[in-house]
Amino acid sequence: MTHQVRAVVARGKGAPVSLETIIVPDPGPGEALVKIEACGVCHTDLHYREGGINDDFPFLLGHEAAGVVESVGEGVTDVAPGDFVILNWRAVCGQCRACLRGESWYCFNTHNAKQKMTLLDGTELSPALGIGAFAEKTLVAAGQCTKVDPTASAAAAGLLGCGVMAGIGAAINTGNVGRGDSVAVIGCGGVGAAAIAGANLAGAAKVIAVDIDDRKLATAEKLGATHTVNSKDADAVEAIRELTGGFGADVVIEAVGRPETYKQAFYARDLAGTVVLVGVPTPEMKLELPLLDVFGRGGALKSSWYGDCLPSRDFPMLIDLYLQGRLDLDAFVTETIALDEVEKAFERMHHGDVLRSVVVL
C-alpha cells in the first residue's frame, strides 16, 4: 500500500518551494512510517533549496521533526505504532569502526529508509538529511525514530532533532562543559542559544553570550546567559577576557561558522581551554592562525557534528528536563506556521528575528 500526502518540495536550484502531493510507501523491513506533528525550519533546508548541498533535486525538505509512528516494517522492535518520537539523522549502525570502538555518536554509516518517496509521476524525492518531514507523513529507518515522553509539545520536541541538539550537545558533549566553568558562545541564533542553555544545564558558572544583534542577546539572557556582549560595538575577545579575570573562557563555542568568529573563539579562550566549532562554514572559507599560537595556547580545538549526540541517550533525557521546567525548549519556538508557509519562513530567516519557525500539522 502507499499513502498520498501533502509535502513541501524544492524542485530546482533557488526556485521557491511548492506544496505537492507525494507518494509514501508502507514501511519495509527496518523502516517506520511517521505521521508528522511538527517540523522546524532550519538553515539547512534553505541550503538544500539553493543547491548548496548537492544537485539531487527534487528535495523533500524538513528534518527537525516530531510525530507519531503510524506503522512499522518487518523486524522493527525498538518503536511501535502509537509511539511519540523525535526524528534524528543519526540512526547508528552498530558496526562501523566508530560504533565498534564504542563511540557511536560518530557513527560513519547511519541509516535511512531504503524505499523511495516519490512525486505523483514517480520521480524519486531526496529527503533532506534522510528525513523529509515537511509532510503529513514520512518514511524513515526505524533507528531514526527516538521514543520520548508524549506529553511534550511536538513543536518544541522536534527541535531537538537538529539545531537545538547541535547547540546543547556542543556544550555538554563536545565541549564537556563542567560545573563552575566559564563559557562564551559566539553567535546566538537557534544553535548558539541552545549552547547557552546546554552550558547552563552543565553547571557553568559564567555564560557569556556574544552576537551582533541585540534581539539575540535578549533571548540569550532568557536562556541563562549571565553576560552579553554586542560585538558590533565591542571587541569580543577583549570583552570575554575582561569578564573572565583577564584570562579567557574555559570553553568557547563558535556558532556562526565564519573564520573571523572562529579566530575570536580561538583567542577568547583561556590557556589549555577548549574551542568548539558548531557553526558550519562554506567551502571557500579559509582560516589563518600563527602555528605557534596553536601550539602555545594548548588545549583542544574541536568540531561538533550534530552536537556529538546519541539520540537514544540524549533525546529522552532532554525531554525529561524540558518537562521538569529545567530546559526551556519553548523559548526556541518563535512562531508556528502552516505547511504552505515554509517559503515565508525562509524570508524571515534573513531578517534575523526568529530562532525557529515551526510548521505544525
The site partner of 190 among Zn ion, ligand APR, none (C-beta below 5 to 8 Å per kind) is ligand APR
Judged by CB under 6 A, does residue 211 bind ligand APR?
Answer: yes
Judged by CB under 6 A, does residue 86 bind ligand APR?
Answer: no
Judged by CB under 6 A, does residue 203 bind ligand APR?
Answer: no
Q: Nearest approach, Cβ of 167 to ligand APR (angstroms)?
A: 7
Please give the grid coordinates belonging to residue 44. Answer: 539547512
C-alpha–C-alpha distance, residues 18 and 309, integer Å: 32
C-alpha–C-alpha distance, residues 247 and 258, integer Å: 23
Q: Nearest approach, Cβ of 178 to Zn ion (angstroms)?
A: 27
Burial label, 100 (beta-carbon count in 10 A; 0-12, 13-18, 19+): exposed
62 versus 273: smaller Cβ distance to Zn ion: 62
Q: Which amino acid is at 43?
A: H
Q: Which amino acid is at 98?
A: A
Judged by CB under 6 A, does residue 280 bind ligand APR?
Answer: yes
Judged by CB under 6 A, does residue 229 bind ligand APR?
Answer: no
Q: Nearest approach, Cβ of 264 to ligand APR (angstroms)?
A: 7
48 versus 84: smaller Cβ distance to ligand APR: 48
Strand partners, 65: 39
Closest among 147, 143, 169, 165 to 156, alpha carbons compared: 165
Closest among 285, 249, 281, 245 to 265, alpha carbons compared: 249
Judged by CB under 6 A, does residue 187 bind ligand APR?
Answer: yes
The dihedral of CA 244, 250, 253, 254: what is its sign? positive
Please give the grid coordinates belonging to residue 15. Answer: 526556485
Judged by CB under 6 A, does residue 216 bind ligand APR?
Answer: yes
Site for ligand APR in 300-319 (CB under 6 A): none
Q: Which helix (H) or strand (E) holds 157?
A: helix 154-158
Whether 139 contacts 23, CB under 8 Å: no
Chain Cα centroid distance, residue 215: 21
Site for ligand APR in 65-84 (CB under 6 A): none
139 versus 236: smaller Cβ distance to ligand APR: 236
Length of the chain: 361
Sequence-distant (≥ 6) Cβ neighbours of residue 303 within 8 angstroms: 174, 276, 277, 278
115 versus 303: smaller Cβ distance to ligand APR: 303
Assess whether the previous peptide bond of 81 is cis (omega < 30° from 0).
no
**Binding pattern for the stretch 131-160 against ligand APR, x by CB under 6 A and - elsewhere:** ------------------------------
Judged by CB under 6 A, does residue 164 bind ligand APR?
Answer: no
The site partner of 210 among Zn ion, ligand APR, none (C-beta below 5 to 8 Å per kind) is ligand APR
Of positions 38, 69, 165, 212, contacts ligand APR by CB under 6 A? 212
If you search the block for the grid coordinates 503529513, which residue do you land on? 136
Whether 277 contacts 302, CB under 8 Å: yes
Q: Nearest approach, Cβ of 22 to ligand APR (angstroms)?
A: 26
Of positions 135, 140, 142, 186, contacts ligand APR by CB under 6 A? 186
Helix, coil or strand: residue 86: strand
Neighbour tally for 324: CB within 10 Å: 8
Judged by CB under 6 A, does residue 161 bind ligand APR?
Answer: no
24 versus 237: smaller Cβ distance to ligand APR: 237
Of positions 257, 259, 299, 316, contacts ligand APR by CB under 6 A? 257
Footprint of Zn ion (CB under 5 A):
42, 44, 93, 96, 99, 107, 109, 162-163
Of positions 158, 279, 307, 311, contacts ligand APR by CB under 6 A? 279
175 versus 189: smaller Cβ distance to ligand APR: 189
- Judged by the rule CB under 6 A, the positions of this chain that interact with ligand APR are 43, 163, 166, 186-192, 210-213, 216, 231, 255-257, 260-261, 278-280, 352
